[in-house]
């Protein structure tokens, strides 16, 4: 049985006449709100043309509170608002009663945007009210019976009413509620142990390299046995892991966790300097890897053999210990295993893992992610996906990439999804075979990797896919539509950064419009990166003045939430540049529309300031891709880079693998075609530089530093 409904921050409610706008409302919540506002005279406010749920309508009629109605189509909303205000006593409040809508669980605002617009136009002071139901955004290992039935949290009343200011306040209130959840103070290691125990008999990891299977009950025993060896091997708090996705990578990460240490998955595709920098910053003396992988990546700056722990050598030597721990973990409850392994149950803000940024624009930065960060993001991302228990997930993204780490390591273990692994996201032929063989439901990829499926893969091989989610780079419209035309599933774009653990936004499918005309709160908007995941707030600042502006105005995106990291490893000055009062400066430029969808317009580092005007590189690239007919290409053919210019501050150059011999004529042709597309003359490339290959990182992202080096 759930705990009672909680009401928080009632002191934020304006003292005078006002309009409370809850993101949603049911009879029990309405009753609790009425009880909490016993010193204020309540009038329920509803739309004339909207049909309320029967139970809610019944409660309102029995509540002994008056009702009022408005028509959002009224041409004079201010006059309507003045009339409504006149009907209230001095301390009276209106409580808007949302009509029935169809929305994904955890959606903070379940009011259609046109209705919100009308409410904000009435002229009454508004009080945003977030109503969160923790059970909708709980981990499968949580005890839902111990959670509050709902938490009603008042947001700050906006100084100026608009849909944008309402949404910003509502998101902040929802973030406060989510970030106060008790489970965030727990331990990722304990959560992983709980997940392996709970899903021991029903969940399996399938390794596509040798078609082997490792059920979760055996995975737990192997990981615990290996953790004992790791404890003996090093006294350092961090352990390096140099392995691709697969059962070896999974076992290694779990074992390091169960040893009470911090896993550091190293980027084996990075430059020697970047790898050595990461090892030095992390202070690692032991590295888990495998003989075959050492031979496969001979160019990697491998540490001395004495510092390498070869997983395929160690496991056969501890076979008896593995059998022992498989049996022990089968019969002992989670609580006793936690004590036996001496796991710290209070993880919270302590470092859980260490990742390094890709180094796309400089030396890799260490990003320590806490237990709190990762538990939050698994919950935010995983519960929003809401995949059925029998679902299968393809895990082929690098484990040193935050997307691959959170979503293909921690998420399937905690939430109990079968995981099908393969070491490379580039071998699409083999990946398609695995998708077909195991009937994989969920594919996580980058647009660059999706292009690989468009070439040799037959449509029927991917027919089991129910959801395709992309991240790391912008998903081109043409690629998404082509993928849908061929495979019958539209890729959904998401967004996140290493510093946000990583997921913050994702587009997701929602039911089609019902025949009875019930409004649907959309969960996907093409060209956006989706709405905010539960418990994440957003704000926008002006790039020139750093002043906070409305969410619907283009500017630098700031995010706040339990998934946001606490700062870079030993880089205090750099941390101060991106973190202010818990708000994280993403460095991306974008805006939010009235329906709550975030649009990324480019990275601030991918803008050039030319004659005082901010020129977005990605917009120019998209236009050039279109005019050169490169939409269907599976590999990057062009890239825009900014260079210093004495007269205008900066100029942009075009790196191209398709440039012909007559560069001057080609530059002129491109310029005219860009002008025809509406691109300003100032934005046209000043120079074309022909190159053999566009530098790309292992994640599929453009290697900005590599491009700049080529220009130099």
Most confident of 96-105, 246-255, 510-519, 604-613: 246-255
CA distance 194 to 140: 10
Model pLDDT for residues 107-120, shown as the tens digit of each residue: 999 999 999 999 99
**Residue of 89, 82, 37 whose CA lies nearest to 63:** 37
pLDDT at 656: 87
What percentage of the chain exceeds 90 in pLDDT? 68
pLDDT at 513: 65
CA distance 475 to 460: 23
Residues 6+ apart with CB under 8 A from 331: none
Count how many Cα atoms sit within 13 Å of the Cα of residue 176 in the half-sphere of its side chain. Answer: 18
Q: Comparing 601 with 335, which gets the higher pLDDT?
A: 335
Model pLDDT for residues 477-499, shown as the tens digit of each residue: 888 999 999 999 999 999 999 99
Model pLDDT for residues 386-429, shown as the tens digit of each residue: 888 899 999 999 999 898 999 999 999 999 999 999 999 989 99
Owner of token pair 């990981």: 223
pLDDT at 673: 86
Residues 6+ apart with CB under 8 A from 254: 192, 196, 219, 220, 223, 227, 413
Q: Comparing 491 with 650, which gets the higher pLDDT?
A: 491
| Alpha-carbon distances of 47 from 95, 115, 486, rounded to whole Å | 12, 9, 44
- Split at pLDDT 50, 70, 90, the class of 634 is low
Q: Does the pLDDT of residue 474 top 70, yes or no?
A: yes
Model pLDDT for residues 135-151, shown as the tens digit of each residue: 999 998 998 888 999 99
pLDDT at 1: 44
Name 255's bridge partners.
none
Q: Does the pLDDT of residue 346 top 80, yes or no?
A: yes
pLDDT at 358: 67
Q: Comparing 628 with 262, which gets the higher pLDDT?
A: 262
Q: How far from chain centre, in Å, is Cα 480?
A: 19
Q: Does the pLDDT of residue 2 top 60, yes or no?
A: no
Q: Does the pLDDT of residue 512 top 70, yes or no?
A: no
pLDDT at 283: 97
**Residue of 263, 261, 255 whose CA lies nearest to 193:** 255
Name 579's bridge partners.
584
Q: Does the pLDDT of residue 32 top 70, yes or no?
A: yes
> Strands 238-241, 536-541: parallel, antiparallel or unpaired by DSSP?
unpaired
| Alpha-carbon distances of 212 from 207, 218, 248, 399, 419, rounded to whole Å | 5, 13, 11, 20, 12
- Three-state SS for 345? coil
Domain architecture of the chain: domains with CATH: 6-182 (3.40.50), 188-503 (3.40.50.12780), 536-602 (2.30.38.10), 611-711 (3.30.300.30)
- Split at pLDDT 50, 70, 90, the class of 535 is very high
What percentage of the chain exceeds 70 in pLDDT? 96
Q: Residue 516: enclosing H or E segment and its boundaries?
A: none
The answer to which of 5-9, 531-535, 680-684 has the lowest mean pLDDT is: 680-684
Q: Does the pLDDT of residue 607 top 70, yes or no?
A: yes
> Strands 467-470, 442-445: parallel, antiparallel or unpaired by DSSP?
parallel
- Three-state SS for 488? coil
CA distance 327 to 552: 57
Q: What is the mean pLDDT of residues 645-668?
A: 78
Q: Comparing 620 with 540, which gets the higher pLDDT?
A: 540
Q: Does the pLDDT of residue 5 top 70, yes or no?
A: yes
pLDDT at 3: 65
- Three-state SS for 426? coil
| Alpha-carbon distances of 348 from 142, 156, 591, 608, rounded to whole Å | 16, 27, 32, 40
State the pTM of this model: 0.89
Q: Residue 589: enclosing H or E segment and its boundaries?
A: strand 583-592
Query: 678: left (phi > 0), else alpha (psi -120 to 50), else beta?
Result: left
- Split at pLDDT 50, 70, 90, the class of 447 is confident
Residues 6+ apart with CB under 8 A from 396: 245, 408, 421, 422, 423, 424, 425, 431
Q: What is the mean pLDDT of residues 653-678?
A: 79
Q: Does the pLDDT of residue 360 top 60, yes or no?
A: no
Complete DSSP assignment for 141-204: TS-GGGSBS-EEEEPPPPSS--HHHHHHHHHHHHHHHHHT-GGGGS-HHHHHHHHHHHTTTT-E
Model pLDDT for residues 198-230, shown as the tens digit of each residue: 999 999 999 999 999 999 999 999 999 999 999
Model pLDDT for residues 276-293, shown as the tens digit of each residue: 999 999 999 999 999 999
Q: What is the mean pLDDT of residues 16-45?
A: 94
pLDDT at 359: 57
Q: What is the mean pLDDT of residues 353-379?
A: 88
What angle separates helix 163-179 from helix 371-385, to the nearest 10 degrees? 120
pLDDT at 170: 98
User: What's the chain's average pLDDT?
Assistant: 91
């Amino acid at each position: 049985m759930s705990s009672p409904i909680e009401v928080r921050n009632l002191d934020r409610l304006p003292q005078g006449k006002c309009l409370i706008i809850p993101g949603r409302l049911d009879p029990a919540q309405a009753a609790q709100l009425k009880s909490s506002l016993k010193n204020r005279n309540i009038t329920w406010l509803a739309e004339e043309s909207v049909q309320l749920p029967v139970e809610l309508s019944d409660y309102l009629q029995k509540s002994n509170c008056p009702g009022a109605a408005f028509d959002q189509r009224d041409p004079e909303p201010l006059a309507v608002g003045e009339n409504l205000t006149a009907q209230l006593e001095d301390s009276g409040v209106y409580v808007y009663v949302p009509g029935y809508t169809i929305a994904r669980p955890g959606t903070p605002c379940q009011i259609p945007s046109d209705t919100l617009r009308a409410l904000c136009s009435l002229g009454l002071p508004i009080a945003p009210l977030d109503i969160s139901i923790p059970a909708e955004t709980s981990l499968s290992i949580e005890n839902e019976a111990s959670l509050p039935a709902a938490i009603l949290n008042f947001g700050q009343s906006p100084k100026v009413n608009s849909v944008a200011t309402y949404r910003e306040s509502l998101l902040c209130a929802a973030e406060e509620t989510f970030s106060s959840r008790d489970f965030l103070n727990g331990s990722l290691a304990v959560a992983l142990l709980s997940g392996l125990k709970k899903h021991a008999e029903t969940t399996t990891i399938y390794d596509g390299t040798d078609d082997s299977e490792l059920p979760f009950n055996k995975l737990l025993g192997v990981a615990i046995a290996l953790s004992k060896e790791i404890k003996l091997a090093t006294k350092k708090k961090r352990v390096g892991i140099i392995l691709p996705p697969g059962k070896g990578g999974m076992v290694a990460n779990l074992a390091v966790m169960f040893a009470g240490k911090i896993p550091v998955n190293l980027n084996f595709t990075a430059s020697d300097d970047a790898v050595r920098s990461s090892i030095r910053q992390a202070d690692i003396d032991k590295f888990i890897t495998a003989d075959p992988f050492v031979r496969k990546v001979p160019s990697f700056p491998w540490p001395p053999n004495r510092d390498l722990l070869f997983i395929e050598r160690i496991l056969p030597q501890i076979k008896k210990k593995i059998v022992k721990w498989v049996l022990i973990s089968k019969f002992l409850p989670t609580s006793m295993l936690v004590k036996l392994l001496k796991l710290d149950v209070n993880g919270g803000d302590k470092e859980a893992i260490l990742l390094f940024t890709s180094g796309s624009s400089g030396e890799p930065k260490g990003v320590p992610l806490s237990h709190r960060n990762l538990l939050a993001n698994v919950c935010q991302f995983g519960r929003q996906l809401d995949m059925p228990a029998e679902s299968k997930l393809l895990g082929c993204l690098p484990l040193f990439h935050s997307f691959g780490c959170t979503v293909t390591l921690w998420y399937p273990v905690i939430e109990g999804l079968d995981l099908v692994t393969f070491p490379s996201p580039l071998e699409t032929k083999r990946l398609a075979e695995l998708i077909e063989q195991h009937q994989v439901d969920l594919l996580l990829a980058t647009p660059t990797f999706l292009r690989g499926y468009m070439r040799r893969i037959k449509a029927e091989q991917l027919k089991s896919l129910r959801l395709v989610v992309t991240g790391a780079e912008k998903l081109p419209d043409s690629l998404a539509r082509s993928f849908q035309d061929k495979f019958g599933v539209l890729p959904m774009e998401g967004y996140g950064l290493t510093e946000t653990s990583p997921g913050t936004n994702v587009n997701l499918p929602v039911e089609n419009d019902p025949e009875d005309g019930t409004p649907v709160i959309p969960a996907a908007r093409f060209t956006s990166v989706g709405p905010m995941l539960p418990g994440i707030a957003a704000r926008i600042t002006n790039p020139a003045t750093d002043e906070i502006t409305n969410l619907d105005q283009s500017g630098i995106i700031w995010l706040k939430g339990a998934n946001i990291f606490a700062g870079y490893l030993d880089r205090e000055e750099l941390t101060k540049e991106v973190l202010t009062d818990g708000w994280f400066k993403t460095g991306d430029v974008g805006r939010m529309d009235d329906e709550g969808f975030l649009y990324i317009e480019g990275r601030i580092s991918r803008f050039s300031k030319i004659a005082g005007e901010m020129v977005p590189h990605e917009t120019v690239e998209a236009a050039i891709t279109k005019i050169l007919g490169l939409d269907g290409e599976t590999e990057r053919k062009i890239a825009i880079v900014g260079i210093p210019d004495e007269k205008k501050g900066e100029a942009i150059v075009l790196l191209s693998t398709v440039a012909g011999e007559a560069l001057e004529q080609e530059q002129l042709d491109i310029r005219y075609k860009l002008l025809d597309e509406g691109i300003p003359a100032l934005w046209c490339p000043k120079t074309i530089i022909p190159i053999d290959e566009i530098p790309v990182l292992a994640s599929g992202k453009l290697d900005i530093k590599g491009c700049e080096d080529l220009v130099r």
